[in-house]
């Protein structure tokens, strides 16, 4: 619980849960007179003044914030202090927090920084320590109360608090002195490692692709000669917060850390009805199983990497568009049957319906998922979280993904059956049987020769006959 006073309630907050990006206020532009020579050297307008020790700063994104240097510690706020009433309320809360600070066993130094956020008559706050790169509070709390994910150890909690620290520096970089050069060198080394890891492994847990890493390394190296600039501070802080976030998700430095993207280290209940997947795989020529495996792989431990999500959606879009083209071609192939009069109209109607459904489902899925191809990792994670069933997992989502191709294949099978009936009608049953048998042989040959089971059986068969001396062993020159 927060500290309740007559002024209101003081409560802890984190730099990830401020209302920085939730401001619902509307601006009201108006027509303003421009006096002659305005903003020339001799006609500078009178600036807005702040109390002593206070200064205004503008974040690279455009957010105005205020900083007080001393006398006890540095204070940061986004409250609009040019408004006198807001300034008075802010100062009262700062004085109250400083009083509480004097009652706890925390050494006050120039490395400490307080952030306050007004919430009506209430106030939310947190502290950061620039020496240890951590965020802290004046009262005991826990991760759940602060809206943070559970952790496995104190060392992982330190990573979480360091991530929050860098998020604070990212939000308020313009008043700070230059960051230590070793922080820049370390982040360059981290991205260089990520570049190499991504180039040599398909299951790297690094958060960016190799191409992105190259860009970031170049940007960071360009920061070396401009460390006193607030924009440089923002760049380094933004990337550090992302790296710490990824460290938390991969359980960096813990007893059981995630070393590859497809490695699951969190408990997740199994799907309750696996037979459904078997049935759906048979009905969809195994395409639903392929899609379910890919969905499971992209959502291991409810984590999503943006590049893998983009690849998944991109591949699905290509497949759906190919199915749409194939379905359209199949519908065109139905035209001769209208002229020659199919001997089995219901079969012709069924194939037409299947191919039309394949075309329609392809168009609908393409329309639904094309905007999602560029989703961020967070957006993709939230979407997959919303559609994953606690009982069936991605079974029925995979079925939806596989419908265009499955319907296409079923449609072509019935279309081929129509062709055989038409051949039997005009050329006789023997010719139709011969064509059907030939097609069956081709399908079996293609399937078996591309099957690992067939290749293993063939190898065993060959080995057995060699032992019996019926097949000579190959000679090498």
Query: Per-residue pLDDT tens for 373-426?
Result: 999 999 999 999 999 998 899 999 999 999 999 999 999 999 999 888 888 877
pLDDT for 129: 96
Among residues 262, 288, 314, which one ends one of the domains? 262
| Residue 428, phi-psi category: left (phi > 0), alpha (psi -120 to 50), beta (remainder) | left
For residue 267, being part of any structural domain is answered with: no
Segment 225-239 shows an average pLDDT of 96
- Is pLDDT larger for residue 450 or for residue 217? 217
Q: At what angle do helices 210-221 and 230-249 cross, to 10 degrees?
A: 140
Determine the average pLDDT of the residues in 192-201: 96
Confidence of residue 443 (pLDDT cuts 50, 70, 90): confident
Same domain, 128 and 9: yes
pLDDT confidence bin for 445, thresholds 50/70/90:
confident
Last residue of a domain, one of 262, 296, 317: 262
Kindly state whether residues 135 and 18 are assigned to the same domain: yes
**161 & 197 share domain:** yes
Shared-domain flag, residues 3 and 140: yes
| Judgement on whether residues 300 and 412 belong to the same structural domain of the protein | yes
Q: Which residue has the higher pLDDT, 455 or 323?
A: 323
**Residue labelled with tokens 């939730």:** 22
| Better-predicted residue by pLDDT, 268 or 300 | 300
pLDDT at residue 459 greater than cutoff 80: no
Given this model, what pLDDT does residue 352 score?
A: 94
Tell me, yes or no, whether 412 lies in a domain.
yes
Domain total in the chain: 4
Q: Is residue 402 part of a domain?
A: yes
Region 101-128: what's the mean pLDDT? 92
Start-to-end C-alpha separation, the chain: 84
Q: What is the predicted pLDDT for the residue at 474? A: 55
Average of per-residue pLDDT values in the chain: 90
What pLDDT was estimated at residue 57? Answer: 96
Q: Which of 202, 256, 238 is nearest to 59 (CA)?
A: 238
187 and 224, same domain (yes or no) = yes
Q: Which range (198-212, 266-280, 304-318) has the least confidence? A: 266-280
Whether residues 139 and 158 share a domain: the answer is no
In a domain, 162, yes or no: yes
Q: What is the structure's pLDDT at 1?
A: 47
Q: Tell me the pLDDT tens digit for each residue of 165-189.
A: 999 999 999 999 999 999 999 999 9
User: Looking at the structure, do residues 295 and 372 belong to the same domain, yes or no?
Assistant: yes
Residues 200 and 141 in one domain: no
Out of 202, 235, 262, a domain closes at 262
The arithmetic mean of pLDDT across residues 301-305, rounded, is 92
pLDDT of residue 437: 87
Does 268 reside within a domain? Answer: no
Whether residue 106 is found in the same domain as residue 229:
no
Dump pLDDT digits (tens) for 116-132.
Answer: 999 988 999 999 999 99
Mean pLDDT of 45-70: 90
What domain range includes position 393?
A: 274-427
In a domain, 465, yes or no: yes
Q: If you average pLDDT over residues 203-228, what whole number do you get?
A: 95
Q: Quick one: pLDDT at residue 477?
A: 46
Q: Based on the domain organization, do 325 and 313 belong to the same domain? A: yes
Segment of 5-19, 194-208, 462-476 carrying the highest mean pLDDT: 194-208
Q: Are residues 253 and 303 in the same domain?
A: no
Q: Does residue 384 lie in a domain region?
A: yes
Q: What is the pLDDT of residue 457?
A: 67
Residue 292 inside a domain? The answer is yes
């Amino acid at each position: 619980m927060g500290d309740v006073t007559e002024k209101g309630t003081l409560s802890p907050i984190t730099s990830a849960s401020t209302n920085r990006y939730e401001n619902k206020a509307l601006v009201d532009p108006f027509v303003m007179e421009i006096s002659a020579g305005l903003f020339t050297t001799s006609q500078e307008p009178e600036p807005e003044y702040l109390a002593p020790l206070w200064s205004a700063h503008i974040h690279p994104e455009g957010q105005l914030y205020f900083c007080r240097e001393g006398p006890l510690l540095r204070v940061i706020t986004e409250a609009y202090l040019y408004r006198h009433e807001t300034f008075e309320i802010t100062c009262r809360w700062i004085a109250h927090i400083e009083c509480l600070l004097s009652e706890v066993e925390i050494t006050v130094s120039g490395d400490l920084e307080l952030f306050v956020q007004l919430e009506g008559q209430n106030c939310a706050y947190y502290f950061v320590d620039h020496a240890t790169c951590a965020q802290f509070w004046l009262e005991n709390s826990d991760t759940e109360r602060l809206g943070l994910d559970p952790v496995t150890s104190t060392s992982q909690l330190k990573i979480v608090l360091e991530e929050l620290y860098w998020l604070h520096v990212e939000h308020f970089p313009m008043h700070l002195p230059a960051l230590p050069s070793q922080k820049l060198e370390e982040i360059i080394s981290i991205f260089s490692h990520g570049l190499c890891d991504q180039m040599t492994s398909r299951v790297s847990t690094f958060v960016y692709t190799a191409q992105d890493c190259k860009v970031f390394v170049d940007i960071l190296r360009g920061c070396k000669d401009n460390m006193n600039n607030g924009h440089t501070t923002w760049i380094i802080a933004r990337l550090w917060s992302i790296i710490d976030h990824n460290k938390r998700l991969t359980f960096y430095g813990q007893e059981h850390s995630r070393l590859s993207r497809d490695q699951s280290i969190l408990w997740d209940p199994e799907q309750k009805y696996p037979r459904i997947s078997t049935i759906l795989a048979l009905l969809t020529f195994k395409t639903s199983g392929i899609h379910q495996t890919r969905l499971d792989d992209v959502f291991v431990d409810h984590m999503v990497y943006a590049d893998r999500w983009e690849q998944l959606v991109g591949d699905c879009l290509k497949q759906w568009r190919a199915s749409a083209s194939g379905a359209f071609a199949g519908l065109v192939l139905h035209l001769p049957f209208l002229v020659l009069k199919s001997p089995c109209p219901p079969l012709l109607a069924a194939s037409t319906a299947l191919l039309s459904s394949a075309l329609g489902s392809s168009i609908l899925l393409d329309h639904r998922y094309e905007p999602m191809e560029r989703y961020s990792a967070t957006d993709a994670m939230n979407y997959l979280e919303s559609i994953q069933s606690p009982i069936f997992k991605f079974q029925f989502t995979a079925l939806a993904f596989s419908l265009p191709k499955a319907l296409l294949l079923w449609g072509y099978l019935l279309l081929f059956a129509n062709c055989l009936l038409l051949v039997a009608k005009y050329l006789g049953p023997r010719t139709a049987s011969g064509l059907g048998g030939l097609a069956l042989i081709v399908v079996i040959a293609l399937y078996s020769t591309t099957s690992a089971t067939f290749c293993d059986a063939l190898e065993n068969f060959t080995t057995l006959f060699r032992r019996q001396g019926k097949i000579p062993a190959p000679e090498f020159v």
